[in-house]
Structure 1
Amino acid sequence: MANPAAAGEKSQIVAAILCFFLGGIGIHRFYLGYTWQGIVQIFTLGGCGIWALIDFVRILLGDLKPKDADYDVTF
């Protein structure tokens, strides 16, 4: 049987890849559980790229974490 907690596992590596390639539309924010911020990033195209770049750096540093949790897989 699968562990029920395994469904909520988040990877820092996946978040960084999503942010790098799809940061302009905020897909990494949806992945991390920040739905409203993801919607805002879609409408602003990642804050014209600046917000996405800041998020990318924060993910790499481990400062931007999943909502109400921590990364299960890190660098």
Structure 2
Amino acid sequence: MEAAALAYLAAGLGAGIAAVGAGIGIGWLASSSMDGAARQPEAAGDIRGLMIVSAALIEGVALFALIICLLLVFTA
């Protein structure tokens, strides 16, 4: 197989796995935060703020994976 084809394959798989992982992580985060807010409604504001920060961190990791995949495509 040609090196460029392997780079395209790796970039596609990497981007897909990163997107799936980020989606699962944010879904789990949202589920847990809704559960916590339902159990303790007076802390819902704090839980929401922590959820937004955590979701941004998860998306940051997915963005780094996307950048690495783009580097694989354009440097191959």
TM superposition score category, shorter chain reference: 0.3 to 0.5
* Bigger CA radius of gyration: 2
Give the alignment's TM-score, normalised by structure 2.
0.33
Specify which structure has the bigger relative contact order, considering alpha-carbon pairs within 8 angstroms and separated by 6 or more residues.
2
Choose between structure 1 and 2: higher helix proportion.
2
Give the alignment's TM-score, normalised by structure 1.
0.34
